[in-house]
Chain A
Amino acid sequence: MITEIGHFALVLALCVAVLQASLPLYGAARGDGALIAWARPAALAQFLFVAIAFFALMHAYAVSDFSLANVTANSNSTKPLLYKLSGVWSNHEGSMLLWVFILTLFGAAVALFGQNLPPALRARVLAVQAMIGVGFLLFILLTSNPFLRLWPAPADGMGLNPILQDPGLAFHPPWLYLGYVGFSISFCFAIAALIEGRVDPAWARWVRPWTLAAWCALTVGIAMGSWWAYYTLGWGGWWFWDPVENASFMPWLVGTALLHSAVVVEKREALKTWTILLAIIAFSLSLVGTFLVRSGVLTSVHAFASDPMRGVFILLLLGIYTGGALLLFAWRAPQLQGGGLFAPISREGGLLLNNLLLTTAAATVFIGTLYPLLLDVVAHQKVSVGPPFYTMTFVPIMVPLLVAMAVGPMLPWKRGDLLAALSRLKLAFLISASAALVTLAATGARSVGAACGLALAAWLFAATMSELAERVGLFADPLGALRRAVRLPRATWGMTLAHAGMAVVIAGITGSNAWTTERIVDAKPGDKVELAGYTIALDAVNQVSGPDYTATRADMRLLRDGREIAVLHPEKKFYPVENGNSTGVAIRTNLLADIYAVIGDADGKGGYAVRLYWNPLVPWIWLGAVVMALGGIVSLTDRRHRVGAPARRRRERAAAVQAAE
């Protein structure tokens, strides 16, 4: 019964979305307040219906209702509750429902917190958002319905892919989707601005918090995915340039560019059409990502639907939304009035350089992702585009970006002096050069690349801190610095944290690429293995049982200079229902480096394949990403970015006036 309610709610959501996509848009065009007012309750109702559908599916998973084909194919009665619930989005149908759930969640958020928006703009934003909702709700109902019944219902389900049976599944996809789908709001604002023919600083102020929220979520989502791959796949790697990793990375790159270009629109009314185009591209790349994963056009670890019908449907949606948005852009953007002029050396110039480099980087990743397919189509040649391609192409684009990131915040708006800005970065330059020299002295001439990477990270970190120190007058008036620091706008703190986090990420990437040490040995219980100054003693290997798996579990002691530091328990799990394996990596970290242990198959002579890694600075990759996302969140709390804040203040003021009367 609950399933039928969920199914019916999805149909109702489609009906509401159709109304929401048409009436407010018509009302805004005619200036009809009654029709404009439709947008808000419709967005809330659409969210409510999709939420009912989503939780009905979750309920079916929780109670293991195997009369649903989707539950049978992706769950099993022996699964722990966490994997039953997160199994909802482990498959194509459920994850599309999660996609639409988050889409309507953002719509409801705009309806609730966007009260400071002009009603016509809000109506247009919500109408465009509902158009996206209509397409994806139709997609779910016509091609990917999770509520289809099986009769007779089987006694038990087929289970969940062992690699997905991890807490990572509970968090990574929702965060990633919050980012992907969050960019739909920036997209809707862009379309609404094109329809209205007006982009001004107020528009940029409204669009920035939503972009920032999506960017934070996407940063967290990508970092979580990378961390999950690191500890699940068992190769010690954390990024593989897999098409679907790339599909999430491209919107992040363009979204980062969008965040920065929106600042220029807000402060100087320049780069308006460019910002609109970026907003369209950021969400379009999210749609392309959805297309790549769902259509089966590319094979990847994430691709789980290879039904051409679904692929054609998503391509059609991509054509309607992206093609339609770009057509509207081609028609309306030339009519948008240009904004403030600026010299090439200026804050705006720096932000434009940031935009050009980030979008070029995104284009590079895009070409690398699709090139194998293109070559196969055109020349029937098989190529694999892997890390060497990206090292050769992506890194040279990132280096000038990181150098410029340090200088940009030092430049004033309109017209700046590069030499003056650089002279304020002398200390940062000295720290950066010292980092390079210390690295070379400690590790030898073979680490030139690593020395450059760490120098770059030190340059960015030191420059970011210098800029902060200057702002608060740390050296001019140390006693008053704390007071001034507290009074700094939170957006400034956000920028500082995000840039510093990026420096930490760069250091982590450099360390892991340059100095990771790997040992693959055939070890018997009682053997000891040396790794990067540590000794790892394999004491025993046992067979253990979990709720729905059996595992080969090793007991390893990690020793340094004969002293025990930790006990590691890597596992290789076998899931009989799914007839598949997964790796349970054991990691010991001291936040400067990880010891990473994997137990493999038995060799039949009492030994086991054991893989051991020493991964220096790897934890900094995720630490840096968290600091970056934290920067975004701090920036979101800035008074100027708080959505709905002016409306709330107005209401409070009105209440105060009433009370005084």
Chain B
Amino acid sequence: MNRRGWLYALPVLIFVGLAAGFYYGLTQADLDRTILPLVAQLEK
């Protein structure tokens, strides 16, 4: 694959990284999911 070709493959690599992160985040039970702004305000 030439240099230009690798550039076109870059989105795939970014997506694979993101999807792996999503999977890890999804299956990690001890993550704190309630730290986001609107939820924090609702709980006030």
Pairwise interchain contact A377-B31, C-beta atoms closer than 8 A: yes
As a 0/1 sequence over residues 1 to 44 of chain B, the CB contacts with chain A under 8 angstroms (1 = contact) are 01011001101100110010111111110011111111111100
Closest B residue by C-beta to A302: B38
Contacts of B39 in A (CB 8 A): 242, 299-301
Among A295, A311, A323, A376, the residue within 8 A (CB) of B15 is A323
Among A243, A312, A376, the residue within 8 A (CB) of B26 is A312
Pairwise interchain contact B26-A386, C-beta atoms closer than 8 A: no
A312 to B4, CA, bound (A): 34
Minimum CB–CB distance for B20 against chain A, Å: 10
Minimum CB–CB distance for B31 against chain A, Å: 5
Pairwise interchain contact A299-B21, C-beta atoms closer than 8 A: no
> Which one of A75-83, A324-332, A452-460, A586-594 is at the B interface?
A324-332
Pairwise interchain contact A301-B19, C-beta atoms closer than 8 A: no
Closest B residue by C-beta to A311: B26
Contacts of A297 in B (CB 8 A): 22, 25-26, 33
A385 on interface, CB distance cutoff 8 Å: yes
A277 on interface, CB distance cutoff 8 Å: yes
Question: Given A315-B19, A322-B15, A330-B12, A241–B25 Cβ distance below 8 Å?
Answer: no
Question: Given A295-B26, A377-B31, A323–B21 Cβ distance below 8 Å?
Answer: no
Pairwise interchain contact A329-B11, C-beta atoms closer than 8 A: yes
A474 on interface, CB distance cutoff 8 Å: no
Pairwise interchain contact B26-A384, C-beta atoms closer than 8 A: no
Pairwise interchain contact A301-B11, C-beta atoms closer than 8 A: no
Pairwise interchain contact A242-B26, C-beta atoms closer than 8 A: no
Pairwise interchain contact B36-A382, C-beta atoms closer than 8 A: no
As a 0/1 sequence over residues 244 to 288 of chain A, the CB contacts with chain B under 8 angstroms (1 = contact) are 010000000000000000000000000001000100110010000
For window 331-359 of A, CB contacts with B under 8 Å fall at 333-334
Among B15, B26, B27, the residue within 8 A (CB) of A326 is B15
A385 to B36, CA, bound (A): 7
Contacts of B4 in A (CB 8 A): 334
A162 on interface, CB distance cutoff 8 Å: no
Contacts of A386 in B (CB 8 A): 37, 40
Pairwise interchain contact B37-A377, C-beta atoms closer than 8 A: no
A323 to B16, CA, bound (A): 7
Pairwise interchain contact A334-B25, C-beta atoms closer than 8 A: no
Main secondary structure of the interface of B (DSSP, over half): helix
Pairwise interchain contact A243-B21, C-beta atoms closer than 8 A: no
For window 345-385 of A, CB contacts with B under 8 Å fall at 370, 372-374, 376-377, 382-385
A329 to B27, CA, bound (A): 30
A318 on interface, CB distance cutoff 8 Å: yes
Pairwise interchain contact B8-A240, C-beta atoms closer than 8 A: no
A281 to B15, CA, bound (A): 10
Pairwise interchain contact A315-B26, C-beta atoms closer than 8 A: yes
Question: Given A334-B4, A334-B8, A377-B24, A299–B34 Cβ distance below 8 Å?
Answer: yes
Minimum CB–CB distance for B1 against chain A, Å: 9
B25, B38, B40, B42 — most chain A CB neighbours (10 Å): B38
A296, A308, A326 — most chain B CB neighbours (10 Å): A326
Pairwise interchain contact A326-B12, C-beta atoms closer than 8 A: yes
Contacts of A311 in B (CB 8 A): 26
Among B12, B27, B31, B41, the residue within 8 A (CB) of A373 is B31
Contacts of A383 in B (CB 8 A): 35
Among A241, A323, A330, A377, the residue within 8 A (CB) of B8 is A330
A147 on interface, CB distance cutoff 8 Å: no
Closest B residue by C-beta to A284: B15
Closest A residue by C-beta to B38: A242
Pairwise interchain contact A235-B41, C-beta atoms closer than 8 A: yes
A156 to B22, CA, bound (A): 39
Among B9, B21, B35, the residue within 8 A (CB) of A382 is B35
A333 to B28, CA, bound (A): 36
Among B8, B19, B27, B36, the residue within 8 A (CB) of A298 is B36
Pairwise interchain contact B41-A240, C-beta atoms closer than 8 A: yes
Minimum CB–CB distance for A277 against chain B, Å: 7
Pairwise interchain contact A376-B32, C-beta atoms closer than 8 A: yes
A242 to B15, CA, bound (A): 23
Among B11, B12, B37, the residue within 8 A (CB) of A240 is B37
A580 on interface, CB distance cutoff 8 Å: no
Pairwise interchain contact A299-B25, C-beta atoms closer than 8 A: no
Contacts of A387 in B (CB 8 A): 37
Closest A residue by C-beta to B12: A326
Minimum CB–CB distance for B33 against chain A, Å: 4
A291 on interface, CB distance cutoff 8 Å: yes
Pairwise interchain contact A300-B35, C-beta atoms closer than 8 A: no
Contacts of A384 in B (CB 8 A): 35-37, 40
Closest B residue by C-beta to A327: B12
Question: Given A299-B33, A333-B8, A373–B25 Cβ distance below 8 Å?
Answer: yes
Closest A residue by C-beta to B16: A323
Contacts of A374 in B (CB 8 A): 21
Q: List 6 A-B contacts (CB under 8 A).
A: A318-B22, A323-B16, A333-B8, A372-B35, A376-B31, A385-B37
- Give the 8 A-B CB pairs with smallest separation, nearest first: A242-B38, A386-B37, A299-B33, A330-B9, A240-B38, A326-B12, A311-B26, A330-B8
Given contacts A330-B11, A384-B35, 4 further A-B contacts (CB under 8 A): A242-B39, A298-B36, A308-B26, A330-B8
Chain B positions near chain A (C-beta within 8 angstroms): 2, 4-5, 8-9, 11-12, 15-16, 19, 21-28, 31-42
